[in-house]
Amino acid sequence: MKEHELKILVSREEIAKAINSLAKKIDSDYLGKKILLVGVLKGAAFFLVDLARSISLPLEIDFVEVSSYGNKAESSGKIKLIKDIRKDLSDYHVLIVEDILDSGLTLQYLIDFFKQKKPLSVKSVVLFYKMKNNDCKRPNADYFGLKIPDYFVVGYGLDYAEKYRNLKDLYVVSFV
């Protein structure tokens, strides 16, 4: 790992508040619907657990794993599905749970992938939404928690070479 420093960007309290308001919206939009939260491993595992506990409606959870970044801080532009889910989705409303929207390639891939499984609906909830200059080509998350600047961040599930996922707050990595 290159020499680097971590600086706090979003506190655990702000994260918890954002998740609570996402859960409230989901509670009012999904009343009477059979919900499947699908977390994207590994980064979104932490968010999925906290979100699931904040939602009052009954729900089920599952996970997929994709790889696009390897151990680098930049996208390779290619997405590979490493772990699928096996359930028949025909009577579920799928909510893809993603930690962060950067280029949007991962989310677009997963939306298309889940639509092919023909659930009743496919929507997405993203915790951190990176603000970009050219925003137009990215898929829009149906629900998003917090807008953040376009930095490489770690903590709250997000890693740098598999480290820092367990940090409770979100940090910017600066290479020194």
Residue nearer to Mg ion on the CB measure, 15 or 40: 40
Residue nearer to Mg ion on the CB measure, 118 or 147: 147
CB contact burial 24-44 (16+ within 10 A = b; e otherwise)? eebeeebeeebbbbbbbeebb
> SS3 sequence, 17-52?
HHHHHHHHHHHHHCCCCCEEEEEEECCCHHHHHHHH
Q: What residues numbered 25-44 form the site for ligand 5GP, per CB under 6 A?
A: 40, 43
CB-nearest residue to Mg ion? 43
Query: CA–CA separation, 88 vs 119, rounded Å?
Result: 8
Residue nearer to ligand 5GP on the CB measure, 120 or 161: 161
Half-sphere exposure of 110 toward its Cβ, with a 13 Å CA cutoff?
Answer: 34
What's the min distance (Å) between Cβ of 42 and Mg ion? 7
Binding of ligand 5GP by 105 (CB under 6 A): yes
Q: What residues numbered 53-72 form the site for ligand 5GP, per CB under 6 A?
A: 68-69
Residue nearer to ligand 5GP on the CB measure, 26 or 40: 40
Q: Which of 15, 35, 110, 158 binds ligand 5GP (CB under 6 A)?
A: 158
Half-sphere exposure of 162 toward its Cβ, with a 13 Å CA cutoff?
Answer: 3
Q: Which stretch binds ligand 5GP (CB under 6 A): 7-15, 24-32, 80-88, 157-165?
A: 157-165
**Among the listed residues 138, 148, 144, the one whose alpha carbon sits nearest the alpha carbon of residue 125:** 144
Selecting among 102, 142, 150, 169, the annotated active-site residue is: 102
User: 102 an active-site residue?
Assistant: yes
Binding of ligand 5GP by 167 (CB under 6 A): no
Query: CA–CA separation, 32 vs 37, rounded Å?
Result: 15
Contact 134, 104 (CB under 8 A): no
Active site residues: 102
- Interface ranges with ligand 5GP (CB under 6 A): 40, 43, 68-69, 75, 98-107, 152-154, 158-160
